[in-house]
C-alpha cells in the first residue's frame, strides 16, 4: 500500500516537473529580442496595406511617365485580296497609314497625371507613417502593460510577505488572529488583478505580432523603456520646411480641381487638329499592273455648343468652378484645423509634463511613507490596514507615473503624425 502511494506521488511530481520544464523551453527556446527599429522594419515588410499602396503608386508612376502618349501617332497596315467572279478580276492590295490627333487638352492631361502621381506619393507616405505610428504606440503600449503587470506582481509579493510575517508573529503570540486573517484576505484579493494583467499582456502581444506580420508561436521580448519620456522639461517644435500632410493633400486637391476645370475648358472651347497620311498599292493579278494610292489629309474641328449657356459643357464648367471654390475652402479649413490641433497638442503635452513632475514626487513620497509605515507596524505603533494602504499607494503612484509617460509618448506621436514629422523628432529636439 505504501509503495502504491509512493508511486502515485512520484507520478504526480514527475508530471508537474515535466510541465514546468516544458513551459521553460517554450518560453525561452525561440525568444527573440526586438527593438523598436526592428519592429518597424518587420511591419513595413509584412504589411498588406503598404504593399497595395506600392502597387497603386507604381501604376500612377507609369501613367505619369507616359502621359504624353495621347499624341503618339496611330499606325496601321492593311492587306487585302478581292475576286470579282462576274468580271473575272482578281486584285491584291497593301496599304499603310499614319494618323495624328492634337488637342488643346494635352497640357492638362500631362499635368493631371503628374498631380495624381504626386498625390499618390503623399498617400503612400501617409500609409507608411500610419503603420509606423501603430507600431510605436503598440510597442510602448506593451512596455506599459508589462510594467503594469510587474507592479501588480510586486504588490502581490508584498502582500504575500506581509501575510507570512503576520502568520509568524501570530504563532509567536505577537499579534491577533484578526491581523493574520486581514493580511490573508488582502493577499488573496490581489491575485485576480495579477492574473487579469497577465492575460491582458498576452492578448496585446498577440495583437502586436499580427501588426508585425510574424507567427503567433514566436516568442518576442521588447527592448525598450518609458523612462526617457519622464525627463522631458519643455517642448520644442522644429521649423516647418514643408506643409503638414493634410494641408498638402488639400493643396493637391486645389491643383487637381484647377486642372480638371482647365481640361474641360480645353475640351469645350479648344480646337482639335487631325492629320493623316495613307500610302497603298493595288495589283491586278491578271495584268500585274500596280495602282498607287498616296493621300494626305488635315482637319480642324471647333466645338460650338459650349458657347450656349444651357449646354451640357457650359453646365459642367460651372460645376467644376464650384468644385474649385470648395477645394479652396477646404484648404483654408485644413490650415485652421492644423493650427488648432497643434496648439491643443502642445497644451496637452505641457500639462502632462507638469503632471509627470508631480507624479514622480508622489512615487518617492509613497515609497518613503511605506517604509516608515512598515517600521511603525513592526513596532506595533500602527494597524495593518494603514500598512496595506501604504503598499497600495506605492503601486498606484507607480502605475500613474507609467501611464502618464505613455500618454505623453502618444501625444508626441500624434503631434508628429499631424505635422508630418519623423517620429521621435520632438523628443530629440526638446532634449537638446
Taking only the tens of pLDDT, the chain with its 432 residues reads 433 443 333 333 333 334 433 333 334 446 899 999 999 999 998 887 788 877 887 887 777 666 555 555 666 767 666 665 555 556 666 666 665 555 566 666 777 788 888 888 888 888 899 999 999 999 999 999 999 999 999 999 999 999 999 999 889 888 888 888 999 999 999 999 999 999 999 999 999 999 998 998 999 999 999 998 888 888 888 887 789 999 999 999 999 888 888 877 767 666 666 767 787 767 665 666 667 777 777 766 666 666 667 767 777 888 888 999 999 999 999 999 999 999 999 999 999 999 999 999 999 999 999 999 999 988 888 888 899 999 999 999 999 999 999 999 999 999 999 999 999 999 888 776
Q: Domain for residue 411, yes or no?
A: yes
Please tell me the distance from the alpha carbon of residue 161 to that of residue 169, in angstroms, as a whole number: 12
Closest CA relative to residue 51, chosen from 205, 209, 213: 213
Secondary structure element (H or E) that encloses residue 281, with its range: strand 272-284
Q: Domain for residue 202, yes or no?
A: yes
Please tell me the distance from the alpha carbon of residue 229 to that of residue 234, in angstroms, as a whole number: 11
Cα angle value 43/46/52 (rounded, 5°): 110
Q: Domain for residue 15, yes or no?
A: no
Provide the sign of the torsion angle of the four alpha carbons 165, 167, 168, 172, taken in this order: positive
Q: Domain for residue 14, yes or no?
A: no
Cα angle value 9/15/19 (rounded, 5°): 145
Q: Domain for residue 313, yes or no?
A: yes
Q: Per the structure block, which three cell numbers stand in for 334?
A: 485644413
CB burial of 25-45 (b: ≥16 within 10 Å; e: otherwise) equals eeeeeeeeebebebbbebbbe
Question: How many domains, the chain?
Answer: 1
Q: What is the pTM of this model?
A: 0.77
Q: Domain for residue 5, yes or no?
A: no
Closest CA relative to residue 390, chosen from 376, 360, 370: 370
* Residues 276/296, Cβ–Cβ less than 8 Å: yes
Domain of 391?
34-431
| CATH, residue 103 | 1.20.1600.10
Please tell me the distance from the alpha carbon of residue 225 to that of residue 169, in angstroms, as a whole number: 40
The string of pLDDT tens digits covering residues 174-227 is: 888 888 899 999 999 999 999 999 999 999 999 999 999 899 899 999 999 999
Provide the percentage of residues in the chain whose pLDDT is more than 70.
Answer: 75
Q: Domain for residue 201, yes or no?
A: yes
* Residues 110/67, Cβ–Cβ less than 8 Å: yes
Count CA within 13 A, CB hemisphere, residue 378.
9
* Residues 152/197, Cβ–Cβ less than 8 Å: yes
Q: Domain for residue 3, yes or no?
A: no
Amino acid at each position: 500500500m505504501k509503495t502504491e502511494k509512493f508511486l502515485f506521488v512520484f507520478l504526480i511530481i514527475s508530471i508537474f516537473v515535466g510541465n514546468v520544464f516544458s513551459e521553460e523551453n517554450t518560453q525561452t527556446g525561440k525568444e527573440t529580442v526586438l527593438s523598436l527599429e526592428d519592429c518597424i522594419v518587420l511591419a513595413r515588410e509584412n504589411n498588406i496595406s503598404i504593399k497595395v499602396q506600392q502597387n497603386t503608386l507604381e501604376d500612377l508612376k507609369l501613367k505619369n511617365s507616359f502621359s504624353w502618349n495621347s499624341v503618339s501617332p496611330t499606325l496601321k497596315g492593311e492587306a487585302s485580296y478581292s475576286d470579282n467572279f462576274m468580271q473575272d478580276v482578281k486584285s491584291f492590295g497593301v496599304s499603310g497609314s499614319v494618323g495624328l490627333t492634337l488637342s488643346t487638352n494635352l497640357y492638362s492631361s500631362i499635368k493631371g497625371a503628374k498631380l495624381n502621381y504626386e498625390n499618390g506619393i503623399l498617400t503612400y507616405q501617409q500609409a507608411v507613417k500610419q503603420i509606423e505610428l501603430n507600431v510605436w504606440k503598440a510597442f510602448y503600449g506593451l512596455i506599459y502593460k508589462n510594467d503594469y503587470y510587474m507592479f501588480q506582481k510586486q504588490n502581490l509579493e508584498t502582500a504575500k510577505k506581509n501575510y507570512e510575517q503576520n502568520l509568524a508573529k501570530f504563532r509567536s503570540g505577537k499579534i491577533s488572529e484578526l491581523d493574520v486573517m486581514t493580511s490573508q484576505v488582502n493577499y488573496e484579493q490581489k491575485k485576480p488583478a495579477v492574473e487579469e494583467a497577465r492575460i491582458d499582456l498576452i492578448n496585446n502581444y498577440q495583437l502586436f505580432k499580427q501588426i508585425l506580420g510574424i507567427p503567433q508561436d514566436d516568442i518576442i521580448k521588447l527592448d525598450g523603456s518609458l523612462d526617457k519620456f519622464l525627463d522631458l522639461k519643455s517642448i520644442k517644435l522644429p521649423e516647418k520646411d514643408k506643409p503638414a500632410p493634410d494641408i498638402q493633400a488639400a493643396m493637391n486637391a486645389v491643383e487637381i480641381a484647377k486642372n480638371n476645370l482647365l481640361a474641360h475648358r480645353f475640351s469645350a472651347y479648344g480646337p482639335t487638329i487631325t492629320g493623316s497620311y495613307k500610302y497603298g498599292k493595288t495589283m491586278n493579278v491578271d495584268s500585274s499592273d500596280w495602282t498607287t494610292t498616296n493621300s494626305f489629309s488635315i482637319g480642324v474641328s471647333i466645338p460650338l455648343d459650349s458657347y450656349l449657356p444651357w449646354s451640357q459643357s457650359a453646365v459642367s464648367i460651372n460645376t467644376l468652378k464650384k468644385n474649385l471654390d470648395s477645394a479652396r475652402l477646404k484648404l483654408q479649413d485644413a490650415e485652421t484645423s492644423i493650427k488648432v490641433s497643434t496648439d491643443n497638442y502642445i497644451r496637452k503635452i505641457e500639462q502632462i509634463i507638469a503632471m509627470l513632475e508631480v507624479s514622480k514626487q508622489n512615487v518617492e513620497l509613497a515609497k518613503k511613507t511605506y517604509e516608515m509605515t512598515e517600521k511603525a507596524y513592526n513596532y506595533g505603533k500602527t494597524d495593518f490596514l494603514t500598512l496595506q494602504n501604504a503598499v497600495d499607494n506605492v503601486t498606484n503612484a507607480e502605475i500613474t507615473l507609467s501611464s502618464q509617460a505613455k500618454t505623453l509618448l502618444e501625444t508626441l506621436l500624434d503631434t508628429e503624425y499631424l505635422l508630418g514629422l519623423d517620429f521621435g523628432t520632438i523628443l530629440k529636439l526638446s532634449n537638446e
